[in-house]
């Protein structure tokens, strides 16, 4: 177990790494903690929630919308939650995002705690203060920045995580490797999902490394003017297709990384052999590398992206494995690139 | 015309005081400014909006809710508004509050400008960064803090403001006098609504004084741990009855100030004669000073207030005209006080 205190623009976020869930009571009073979780996590871990007030929602991407937030807010009012309470999100990225958004707008903001239960949540969604809900098929179109008081990483949640969710999480880990850590890329290439499934020390150490990568990037550029933007690698195209084609987030990001690698090859001198290494690695972790989609539709969705502005979109490209950059691609060029690549 | 730059915790908000609306183009490009306004303001001032993209909504308190925010967000998406745009709220407090909330959550936050068109908006709602929407009868239960880039005060909007809205605005002005400015209280006592309606210099100078009072209080305590809390004078009880009894905000605040003055007399040595002076002043400005309500219902609503916590509620009381303080009143005591006073 370790405690790290991270200073995000003057607000301290405590990382409780490899800390059992039941030690939470040391960090905030149980009788002032309202848990937001989903049915699956609740049913698997009911005993952990004893003594807490709990709101259970459907934690799927489909329900990550304003209607669910309205429902959470109205339950919070019924429970007479006031500003002395903390809302604690316990679940995957959908739950931690919705907990963050609800906590940020309820009575103009109450305290937030996060206990991510998935690899994706631990290495990505729970870190950095961003939250959001979807509007129709558009991902995270509404949201805020709201930093948690603490994030508790209890790796024992991974024992009950489905293999499909493990695979999802590795998409973000591979993303981190691509943009920031060539050594981690090589390490990942030596193993596969089953290795990490069976080796608790290896997955714990891998997750800690990814917590550190994401945190460092966010600290360097909390308001995403620059370096943080690189975390969008694979996400621009990924977000455009995720909800339209009802893909798991990791699958969408995997496909987005393949597209971004191909565009990098076309216009950024990214080596073809490295593109192939990335495609092989994604396959090795059971992630998809091609999909049949409607090109025009994908292109229209890209134009609605949060990252689009004026006549183009800021796209994250790879220089090489472990190093990325942002390039503004005019829509007209993007259209012909997508046409050519897909 | 005057330009004041106010530094709220490092973010500069420009106050464009007595500045004509059509000079807005100097402060932000027209083709990147989306106006949010209501039907009434639009119909009265259509020519002012030429060249702007405009979203028109129903600007009444009844529509100040999440459903209207959802509608605004979906129109913003249809208009392909990206993060380079500013959302400019032009209207009363309902409009500026909804513009602030929508701008703060759309794509995790875009720029905000405010052009309040009512006395209430100019002296209170538009200043201080708070926004919010109602949840059922509960006022402003959901919202954020989101500071505008500028606030434009064009006093010519007041020429088309109904007398009922003038009266509403004076409730907040009298509130400022009660908590901060005994001289302004005396000045108000010498005049009435009709005097200010007919005397443009007097109302301009009075509004400027109130902008300054509210701004000073907010600057001293932006996150409402202390002094800013005093601005809630008359609002605790006022908010509890406003939507249940479908009262104009100013009427609700007027009634709330009478209740708070009576409680101040009971438990804070506030002089009976000063309570009577306040009641007379409110009447002089055509504001209500008594209402027939269900005591139990009012009491239940108070307990849901944002300012309630644990076993009591922080209540703003007057020491004397021009000086207020906050006292935590236990619910059980409040119940008997309300019983006795109403």
- Global pTM value: 0.91
Q: Which among A149, A89, A120, A117 has a CA at the least distance from the CA of A214?
A: A120
Q: Which among B115, B79, B78 has a CA at the least distance from the CA of B99?
A: B115
Per the prediction, chain B carries an average pLDDT of 93
A303:B74 CB<8 A: no
Q: Are strands A150-153 and A11-17 parallel, antiparallel or unpaired?
A: parallel
Question: Kind and range of the H or E element at A103?
Answer: helix A93-105
The alpha helices in B190-234, defined as continuous H runs, are 193-198, 200-220
Mean pLDDT of B39-57: 96
pLDDT digits (tens, 9 = 90+) for A236-254: 999 888 888 889 999 999 9
Q: Is B137 on the interface with A (CB under 8 A)?
A: no
Residues 56-75 on A with a CB inside 8 Å of B are 66, 70, 73-74
Task: Quickly state the pLDDT bin for B297 (edges 50, 70, 90).
Answer: confident
Nearest residue of B to residue A312 by CA position? B82
Interface test with A, best of B87, B105, B145, B308 (most A CBs within 10 A): B105
Nearest residue of B to residue A305 by CA position? B82
Give the highest mean pLDDT range of A336-340, B95-99, B305-309: B95-99
B84:A309 CB<8 A: yes
Looking at the complex, report in whole angstroms how far the Cα of residue A264 sits from the nearest Cα belonging to chain B.
Answer: 25
* Lowest-confidence pick of A184-188, B189-193, B290-294: B290-294
A309:B83 CB<8 A: yes
Q: Is B289 on the interface with A (CB under 8 A)?
A: no
B141:A304 CB<8 A: no
CA–CA separation, B202 and B190 (whole Å): 12
Task: Quickly state the pLDDT bin for A31 (edges 50, 70, 90).
Answer: very high
Q: Indicate the length of chain B as a whole number.
A: 342
A105:B142 CB<8 A: yes
Task: Quickly state the pLDDT bin for A308 (edges 50, 70, 90).
Answer: confident
Chain B residues touching A140 at Cβ < 8 A: 108
Task: Quickly state the pLDDT bin for B30 (edges 50, 70, 90).
Answer: very high
Question: Kind and range of the H or E element at B316?
Answer: strand B312-320
Nearest residue of A to residue B131 by CA position? A108
pLDDT above 90 (res B282): yes
pLDDT above 80 (res A9): yes
A105:B145 CB<8 A: no
Nearest residue of B to residue A80 by CA position? B304
pLDDT of residue B339: 83
CA–CA separation, B181 and B189 (whole Å): 13
ipTM over 0.95: no
Mean pLDDT of B178-188: 98
Task: Quickly state the pLDDT bin for B336 (edges 50, 70, 90).
Answer: confident
Identify which of B77, B132, B304 has the shortest CB distance to residue A141: B77
Interface test with B, best of A105, A130, A302 (most B CBs within 10 A): A105
Cβ neighbors of A216 (< 8 A, separation 6 or more) are none
* Lowest-confidence pick of A10-24, B83-97, B286-300: B286-300
Task: Please spell the DSSP secondary structure of B112-170, one letter per residue.
Answer: EEEEE-SHHIIIIITSSSB--EEETTEEEEE--B---SEEEE-GGGGGG--HHHHHHHH
């Amino acid at each position: 177990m370790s405690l790290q205190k991270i200073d995000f623009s003057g607000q301290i976020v405590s990382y409780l790494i490899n800390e059992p869930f039941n030690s939470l009571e040391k960090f905030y009073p149980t009788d002032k903690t309202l848990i937001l979780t989903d049915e699956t996590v609740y049913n698997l871990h009911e005993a952990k929630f004893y003594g807490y007030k709990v709101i259970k929602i459907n934690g799927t991407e489909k329900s990550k919308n304003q209607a669910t937030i309205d429902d959470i807010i109205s339950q919070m009012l019924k429970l007479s939650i006031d500003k002395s309470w903390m809302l604690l999100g316990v679940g995957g990225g959908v739950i931690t995002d919705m907990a963050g958004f609800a906590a940020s707008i309820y009575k103009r903001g109450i305290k937030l705690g996060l206990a991510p239960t998935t690899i994706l949540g631990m290495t990505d969604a729970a870190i950095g203060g961003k939250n959001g809900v979807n509007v129709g098929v558009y991902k995270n179109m509404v949201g805020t920045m709201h930093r948690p008081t603490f994030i508790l990483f209890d790796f024992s949640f991974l024992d009950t995580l489905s293999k499909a969710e493990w695979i999802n999480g590795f998409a973000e880990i591979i993303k981190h490797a691509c943009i920031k850590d060539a050594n981690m890329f090589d390490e990942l290439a030596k193993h596969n999902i089953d290795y990490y499934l069976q080796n608790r020390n290896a997955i714990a150490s891998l997750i800690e490394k990814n917590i550190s990568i994401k945190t460092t990037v966010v600290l360097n550029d909390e308001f995403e003017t620059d370096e943080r933007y690189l975390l969008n690698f694979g996400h621009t195209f990924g977000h455009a297709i995720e909800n339209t084609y009802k893909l798991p987030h990791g699958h969408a990001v995997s496909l987005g990384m393949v597209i971004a690698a191909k565009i990098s090859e076309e216009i950024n001198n990214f080596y073809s052999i490295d593109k192939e290494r990335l495609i092989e690695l994604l396959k090795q972790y059971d992630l998809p590398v091609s999909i049949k989609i409607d090109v025009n539709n994908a292109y229209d969705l890209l134009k609605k992206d949060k990252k689009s502005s004026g006549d183009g979109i800021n796209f994250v490209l790879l220089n090489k494995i472990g190093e990325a950059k942002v390039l503004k691609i005019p829509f007209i060029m993007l259209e012909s690139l997508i046409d050519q690549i897909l």
